[in-house]
Each structure stands twice: as C-alpha cells, then as structure tokens.
Amino acid sequence: MEMVVCVVPVSPMRKEDSHRVEMVSELLFGEVAEVLERTRQFTKLRGLHDNYEGWCQSGQLAVVDHQGNTWHKRLAPDWITPVEVNGQRMNLSLGSSLDMFNEGKAQVGPFSMQYSGDSWDPSLRKFDPHALCEFAKQYLNTPYLWGGRSVFGIDCSGFAQQCFRFFDRQLPRDSSQQVELGEPVGFLQEAKPGDLAFFDNEEGRIVHVGILLGPETIIHSSGKVRIDKIDAQGIVNGDTGERTHKLRVIKRVS
C-alpha cells in the first residue's frame, strides 16, 4: 500500500484527473492518503481522515513510509499557522495536520520542514457542544467554496466536518453522509447548541448542513460562513429576510 502526504497548504481534490473538472474536496497540509491510481499529472487517492476519494496533483504530494494510523492526531490550532519548508515560509490553514513533526522538524522526501508552534490534540478534549459553537465562530466570513475545507474557502459539510474534528468527532465528508449519524431531535425547540441541522432540495435530497447555536440561530457556510435565523421551516437570511434553505431533520452527535 503506497501512502502520500500533502506538502502544500491545500491540495484540490477533483472528481477526475483534470484541472477542468469539479473540485469535490481538499487535502490539507500533513494529511495522509492511500494511492489508488496514477496518471501523468494526477494521483487518485483515498484520504485516511474521511475515506473520501478524488484526484490531486502529484506535485503537491510526497510519498511517505508511515501507514498513517497515528497521523491526524495533532492539528494546527491557529487561523494561519506558519511553517518553514526548505527555508521558505508556508502558511497553513487551521486544522492542518502537524503529526509529521518530531521535536519541531520533519523530512518528507526532498522537503525539510520546521515548526516551532503549538498543536491541538482533539483526543485530549472533552466533547463540549458550547465550546464547539464558539470554535465554529472563528470561521465567520470565510468565503464559501465548493469542496473547500480550509480557512481560504469552505463548503457547508466541510465546515461541519472541520469543527467536529477539533473535538474528536469524525464526520463523513458530505452532508448526505453526515445526516446518517447521531440521534434525531424531534422539534427545533428541543435543539441544543452543537446539534446539526440538515436541509433538502425539492427532490428530497440532503444538500446543506449547519451547526445550531440554539433553537433560533444557526452558523453555516452559504456564500460565506455566517450566522442566520432558523425556524421550523428553515433558514432565514439575517441580512435580506430571504428564506434560503428548507429544514429536513436535526441530529445530535455526542
């Protein structure tokens, strides 16, 4: 089994091996993936953190011997986390993996890396829905980006996934997968901070997710990460009053 690690701040993960096709997700710096296939410029891989598959540029990856079973335990704790790669500064996103560093140093293929900051170990954090909600607010005004998982751009399910990851809760990549987790909450009035609200389209397919701050407000990525009002019918844009998403179900992941 060949393993690779992302050696750039963000590597777009595409549906096919072309720059012209849809970006379905991203690998963040330090995240490890299993190689499934290679073409001239791209590598098809499966990310170890969520088992999501896609094509990344081969030049943004480096082969590693590590099997990855203990990686992704230490995360970059700051909005922007600087590291040094071959003597040059590289700015990492919140949530990047720092597990490759041993006493502040790492050597991955031709890349010599140094890091002198702190890290966040989710396994040492007790799951606290209120703390999760406060953490989520760090992302406010981050632009929406289809397939995004970083502070440079993030989609709705990537936002939920990253926030829960910091509190040692692993969510799948897509909202249609995330809705399968947790216990249903019968009514919005019974919702608690940290509950996940899911929204469907006219065909009944789950297409959106957000994190409830309480029974009347939600933080989610739509245009940007924002806080909006919510009622039994769905989300109401706090700026325009427009009803934007139709509520389908609420789930509690604990």
Write out the catalytic residue numbers.
Answer: 156, 208, 220
Output the six-digit token pair for 247. Answer: 């509520």
Asked if 220 and 209 count as a contact pair (C-beta separation under 8 A), the reply is yes
Output the six-digit token pair for 90. Answer: 């590289």
Residue 141, Ramachandran bin (φ over 0: left; ψ between -120 and 50: alpha; else beta): left
* Alpha-carbon span 84 to 61, nearest angstrom: 17
Q: ∠ CA(146), CA(152), CA(153), 5° rounding?
A: 20
Length of the chain: 254
E strand map for the chain: 3-6, 10-14, 23-28, 32-38, 42-47, 53-57, 61-64, 80-85, 88-93, 105-108, 111-114, 149-150, 153-154, 183-185, 196-200, 206-212, 217-222, 224-230, 234-236, 243-252
3-state secondary structure (DSSP) of residue 229 = strand
Determine the distance from the C-alpha atom of residue 97 to the mean position of all C-alpha atoms in its chain, rounded to a whole number: 12
* Alpha-carbon span 145 to 6, nearest angstrom: 19
